[in-house]
A = this chain, B = another copy of it.
Amino acid sequence: MSLLIQLSVAIAFLLLNGVIDGSNPGDSDEVTALPGLSIPLPFKHYSGYLQGVDSNTQLHYWFAESYGNPASDPLILWMNGGPGCSSLDGLLTEHGPFSVNDDLTISLRNTSWNKFANVIYLESPAGVGFSYGPSSNLSDITTAENNYAALKAFFKKFPTFANHDFYITGESYAGVYVPTLATRVANDSTIRLKAIAIGNGILDRTKNLDSLMYYGYYHGLLGGQLWNGLQVACCSGSSCQYANSNNFLCSHRVRSATNLIWGDGLNLYSIYEDCLKVRQTLAIRNHLQDSNQPLYGTPPCFTESILSKYLNSDAVLKALHIAKQAPKWTICNFIVNLNYQRTYPSVIHFLKNLSSKMRVLLYYGDADAVCNFIGGLWSAEAIQAPKIDDYKPWYINTTYGKTVAGFIQRYDNLDFVTVKGAGHLVPTDQPDAAFRLMETFIGGHSL
């Protein structure tokens, strides 16, 4: 093809996809009036569906353009975890542009990530939130496949965003979704994947449970007798195996410890916060009778009633273009959680491979007992990237000056960061710190 013909074809393609005139096929998904919101918005936002690997799987997304310059600001994909939990939790209670008040009005969040980026909130896999499709074959592998297909569908709907710097981010069990999706995207030269970020990720189940024993004892959640019993049954010299012990007594004591931590009315997702729903922890405890593994379902101390009421109202369903086939929205879907096959007990090998190509941020609210930061630190260390600085505090500016926001261990292409006093939902608990952390990371700067 001659250069001229190539150019003509390229221009025709750009025109067809609305790149030049700035329109996108996704424009029909624009949310033109959001119930409860009474002020005009300084940015556009869209809600609709992205197809997975086949037309039966339709994943709901909500996409908020940047307050700044949407045509050039970076593009972030965000996913909550579970498995089974909705990314609209991220949008509406963590770092999205909107928050739902008790009277069902909508406020704008000062620390929204769309202050500096275009942000896609994707509900995944099928069955989660407003997403629908077959739930018989849910696994880490099919989720990554469907997320990748949905992402490609996003870029078809919004081709003007295809050349933006792109970031894949998420929280909790998205500790699996993010690196598995990023691994596929990294091989796709049409997408400019720059980096990934994971908040309170479950990166290695063994390290998560092993570290929980230390986290529990040194945060006062386990007493000395049980702790000493664990040492006797699970340790040999200074080496301890709690999660994968073959010793019956060790497994029994690990179960006692997880029962005590998970079953006592503590808010495990933010241990210094009160638990609003003590009874819900009983469901967790009952589950623990059958398994050593905690149930990463609905956070036991979290109340979703306002979100549920808002999102399931007819006016909101209509405004967000929710399909008739969509399930009633719940913050976490237990059926998805129970059906889901956890293919990868560890994603450290994915993270190691990714960090050889791009920047990786692992951040942890240090008051979370569900995906505790010690397990995260051990996972970061297991990547064996070269350290490029000492462990040290990082700061934010407050009304009375600079204050410690957490600690950071910087490795080559890999940052491990704690956020002081935050639980599982870092931006909810420490909005200013989370905002600075993400804005700095996306901007390619150092904390």
Residues of A within 8 A of B (CB): 214-215, 218-226, 231, 235, 237-238, 260, 264-267, 271-272, 274-276, 278, 366-367, 373-374, 377-378, 381, 387, 390-393, 395, 398, 400-404, 406-407, 409, 418, 420-421
Which single member of B224, B225, B400 contacts A274 (CB below 8 Å)?
B400
Q: Does B402 contact A265, Cβ atoms closer than 8 Å?
A: yes
**Given A238-B235, A404-B265 in contact, is the A218-B224 Cβ separation under 8 Å?**
no
Q: Does A401 contact B237, Cβ atoms closer than 8 Å?
A: no
5 smallest A-B Cβ distances: which pairs? A223-B391, A218-B218, A272-B421, A274-B403, A220-B418
* Given pairs A223-B409, A274-B403, 14 additional interface contacts (CB within 8 A): A214-B218, A215-B218, A218-B219, A219-B219, A222-B391, A223-B377, A223-B391, A224-B391, A225-B391, A225-B409, A264-B392, A272-B367, A274-B400, A278-B403
Which B residues are in CB contact (< 8 Å) with A378?
224
Q: Does B238 contact A231, Cβ atoms closer than 8 Å?
A: yes
Closest chain B CB from A201 CB (angstroms): 16
Q: Does A404 contact B220, Cβ atoms closer than 8 Å?
A: no
Q: Does B404 contact A266, Cβ atoms closer than 8 Å?
A: yes
Q: Does A366 contact B265, Cβ atoms closer than 8 Å?
A: no
Cα separation A393 to B222 with both chains bound (whole Å): 10
Closest to A381 in B: B224
**Given A223-B407, A398-B274, A404-B275 in contact, is the A393-B264 Cβ separation under 8 Å?**
yes
Q: Does A266 contact B218, Cβ atoms closer than 8 Å?
A: no
Closest chain B CB from A34 CB (angstroms): 29
Q: Does A224 contact B409, Cβ atoms closer than 8 Å?
A: yes
Cα separation A124 to B305 with both chains bound (whole Å): 53
Cα separation A266 to B219 with both chains bound (whole Å): 18
Cα separation A397 to B401 with both chains bound (whole Å): 36
Q: Does B221 contact A278, Cβ atoms closer than 8 Å?
A: no
Cα separation A330 to B221 with both chains bound (whole Å): 37
Which B residues are in CB contact (< 8 Å) with A266?
393, 404
Which single member of B238, B278, B398, B401 contacts A401 (CB below 8 Å)?
B278
Which B residues are in CB contact (< 8 Å) with A403?
265, 274-275, 278
